[in-house]
Amino acid sequence: MAAPSATATALGTSTVEHFRSALERALAEADADERLGPLLSATHLRMRFEFTDAGLGLNVAAGEEGHNLTWSFGAATWPARLVLAMPVAVANRFLQGAESLAIGIARGQVRCDGESRAALQYLPATRLLSGSYRRVVERDFPDLLVA
């Protein structure tokens, strides 16, 4: 994982902390959601997000032992089938459903590495997280809210 860039400093520590906390809470909500949790788990998710300007990585996988999802921040702990790398601002917009991932790729703001099959399997599932993330942001982190 690369060290935080100059842009990360510009982002401000509180923004990155809020973003990380919002993600953490959204994942916890999705995991506990009776409808969403099993849907995400059924995709056998095994992917990693890299937030390039914050020196932050997130591993997300289908859960075990009573959990639908499992996740950890930090270095990659297992080989991901799909890696999405993007700045925090783009990720924040994408996770709120306000940014098209494909457009981000065309604009060079998002990098996607992995198998095509994994992209087909995981991207619609990732979109499912938007509802939880948006709710958390609206409720707890209005500074991250995008129109």
Partner 1 sequence: MPEREEQISLTEAAEISGVTPSTLKRWAAAKVIPVRKGRWTRTAAAQARVVARMRERGHSLEDLRRAVRDGRLAFGYVEDLLPGNRERAIPRSEAAERSGLEEELIERFMTLLGTPTALEGTLSEQDAEAVEEMAKVLEAGFPLVALLQLIRVYAQSIRKIAEAEVRLFHLYVHEPLIRQGVEALEMADEMEGLARELLPLTSPLMEYIHQRYLRFYIEQDVVGHMEVDFGGLRQLGRVTMAFCFIDLTGFVRYTEEEGDEEALDLVERFVETVEATLPSEALIVKTIGDEVMIVSPDPVTLTEWAVGFLALFTERPQPRVGLHFGKAVYRDGDYFGSEVNLTHRVVARALGGEVMITAAVVDAIGTSAYLEFDPIGRVELKGVGEPVELFVARAREPED
112 binds partner 1 (CB under 8 A): yes
Q: Which stretch in 32-40, 44-52, 85-93, 110-118 sits in contact with partner 1 by CB under 8 A?
A: 110-118
The residues near 89 (Cβ < 8 Å, ≥ 6 apart) are 11, 53
Among 8, 40, 56, 119, binds partner 1 (CB under 8 A): 119
CB 90 within 8 A of CB 109: yes
Q: Give the relative orientation of helices 13-32 and 116-140 as an angle to the nearest 10 degrees.
A: 110
Looking at residue 144, the DSSP 8-state letter turns out to be G
102 binds partner 1 (CB under 8 A): yes
105 binds partner 1 (CB under 8 A): yes
Interface residue list for partner 1 (CB under 8 A): 98, 100-108, 110, 112, 115-117, 119-121, 123-124, 126-127
